[in-house]
Chain A
Amino acid sequence: MNGLTQLTDETFVLNLGPQHPATHGVLRVKLVMDGEWIVKAEPVLGYIHRMHEKMGENRTFAQFMPNTGRMDYLGALFYNHGYCCAVERAAGIEVPERAEWIRVITAELNRISSHLLWFGAFVLDLGGFTPLLYAFDDREIILDLLESVTGSRLTYCYFRFGGVYNDIDDSFIEGTRAFIKRMRGRMPMYHDLVTGNIIMRKRLEGIGPISQEMVRRYGATGPVARGSGINFDVRRHEPYSVYPELDFKVPVYHECDSMARYMVRMDEIEESMRIVEQGLDRLPEGPVMAAKAPKIIKPAKGDYYHAVEAARGSFGVRIVSDGTNTPYRLKLRSPTFSNLSLFGEACEGMLLADALALMGSLDLVIPEIDR
């Protein structure tokens, strides 16, 4: 490890993980410490490498769908969406209107549940246990709604090439409206309990500054980029599905610190609720599956790319096809991979506790990095 060359008599190597309550999965970080200050940090990955890209080459396009739910299990519908859109682009499949709206409604509900879990886990890292319980309570309602439609609580495999496999019914629509009403009432409580808390403010304001140039050089996307003042959201940048017809703001904060990233995600929960409401109001009638969706997908030779805005950033799928029914190469561009790569440079000279606040504000899901 390069950092070992910086060891002097006063520094020591501290191993954080791979089993640690604050690393959100199996991440190991080798820290060269000078007392409480970090001299150099080096994340070590690969402890949950589950060979998704190799499996992509061994399976047909349809057989790979369950894998997409297991990479970022908190925002599984986004991965479903990205993969389906990439295959639909490659094979030229059109998706009916109603299916597009259902995809957006369920995906934005998934964004809310992912951000709620991030919120609970982040405050838990900093030492506060109560918001986790409140956040999980709200999240359970979303999980119930999505379970009634998709069949699973966590690792969804709901989208299909050409639409979705199950239509939503009135009980889902009523339940979602009731949830949004309840959640709107809960958000002021979260802001009172956590955002306004003096301890949170002291632990997050000014901590973990990530400049715009650092974001660009490392390719960080999502709330990490938007917390540094860069207005980059794939839903506006490269519109897909029905996002061009929706009215929502993209929250951008300019302070570049952990508090900014926190506020971006809290505002995104509000915006996602607005999107879901608009979706429910404007949901058209019609089929949920393309009538002429081919049973066997054989894209033409060449490579194709599609990106979606997942809960953590820009998730991209690159399919290299050789004309057969299995991909020749399937590359999954995971947002957290690029987000975490700046951790080494960003936390030099910080206190260890501040580095954990920075790590929490990056919103890591390690299986998404290791794929």
Chain B
Amino acid sequence: MGTENVHPPIVQLSTVDKVLALGRANSLWPMTFGLACCAIEMMATGAARFDLARFGAEVFRPSPRQCDVMIVAGTISKKMYPAVKTLYDQMPEPKWVIAMGNCAISGGPFVFEGQYGIIEGADKFLPVDIYIPGCPPRPEALIEGILELEEKLTGSRRWPRVKAG
């Protein structure tokens, strides 16, 4: 989604594009948009043990004007929905969205017959690029999500995939 709304330049230089994509991917600036429990795991990922700074993404900016990626961490309630949409619209292009946690993917454990208060998933109104399941997902899962986003931007993955077991 990221660069689709940007007009393509008149002169196209594919090597420069590759370098730009590499630069963007390795210095994603997330927005501090923790809504609920997943926010704590996001903070833990930025803290000392898991250290998101290794991947270039430790600069969490509160202002949407200075961010690339919005990590929707937590449940989106119907009252909060206009604020989320406004914040997304305020982010400058190119921008991406990561839906972190079950609530941002599909409403999570709060979906039940007769529910009146939440939006069932961020992708109901935002174009989500990466989904990270979990309730809450482990910090390693969030790091894997950021690496998947980097792979989506550059087309290749610089960090090895960790095999289970």
B: interface residue count bin: 20 to 34
Give a binary string over B1-42; 1 marks a CB under 8 Å from any A CB, 0 the rest. Answer: 000000000000000000000000000000011111101110
- Tell whether, in the assembled complex, residue B35 and residue A140 are in contact, meaning their CB atoms are under 8 Å apart: no
Question: How far in angstroms is the closest Cβ of chain A from B105?
Answer: 15
| A46-B77 Cα distance, complex, nearest whole Å | 8
- Tell whether, in the assembled complex, residue B36 and residue A48 are in contact, meaning their CB atoms are under 8 Å apart: yes
Question: How far in angstroms is the closest Cβ of chain A from B62?
Answer: 5
Contact A55-B112, Cβ < 8 Å, known A48-B36, A140-B44, A155-B37: yes
- Of the candidates B36, B117, B138, which one forms a contact with A25 in the assembled complex, judged by CB atoms under 8 Å apart? B36
Question: How far in angstroms is the closest Cβ of chain B from A51?
Answer: 5
Segment from B79-87, B120-128, B142-150 that makes contact with A: B79-87
- Tell whether, in the assembled complex, residue A117 and residue B112 are in contact, meaning their CB atoms are under 8 Å apart: no
List of B residues within 8 angstroms of A133 by Cβ: 47-48
Q: Is B159 an interface residue (CB 8 A)?
A: no
- Tell whether, in the assembled complex, residue A20 and residue B62 are in contact, meaning their CB atoms are under 8 Å apart: yes
- Tell whether, in the assembled complex, residue B112 and residue A58 are in contact, meaning their CB atoms are under 8 Å apart: yes
List of B residues within 8 angstroms of A219 by Cβ: none
- Of the candidates A26, A49, A153, which one forms a contact with B41 in the assembled complex, judged by CB atoms under 8 Å apart? A153
- Tell whether, in the assembled complex, residue A48 and residue B35 are in contact, meaning their CB atoms are under 8 Å apart: yes
| A50-B111 Cα distance, complex, nearest whole Å | 9
| A136-B46 Cα distance, complex, nearest whole Å | 10
How many of chain A's residues have a CB under 8 angstroms from any CB in B? 33
Q: Is A70 an interface residue (CB 8 A)?
A: yes
Give a binary string over B102-121; 1 marks a CB under 8 Å from any A CB, 0 the rest. Answer: 00000001101111111000
- Tell whether, in the assembled complex, residue A25 and residue B40 are in contact, meaning their CB atoms are under 8 Å apart: no
- Tell whether, in the assembled complex, residue B80 and residue A137 are in contact, meaning their CB atoms are under 8 Å apart: no
- Tell whether, in the assembled complex, residue A19 and residue B37 are in contact, meaning their CB atoms are under 8 Å apart: no
Give a binary string over A18-59; 1 marks a CB under 8 Å from any B CB, 0 the rest. Answer: 111100011000000000000000000011111100110011
Contact A67-B48, Cβ < 8 Å, known A74-B40, A154-B136: no
Q: Which residues of A contact B (CB under 8 A)?
A: 18-21, 25-26, 46-51, 54-55, 58-59, 66-67, 70, 73-74, 117, 132-134, 136-137, 139-140, 153-155, 367
A sample of 11 cross-chain residue pairs with beta-carbon separation below 8 angstroms, ordered by A number, consists of A18-B80, A19-B32, A19-B62, A47-B35, A50-B77, A70-B37, A73-B40, A136-B44, A140-B44, A153-B138, A155-B37
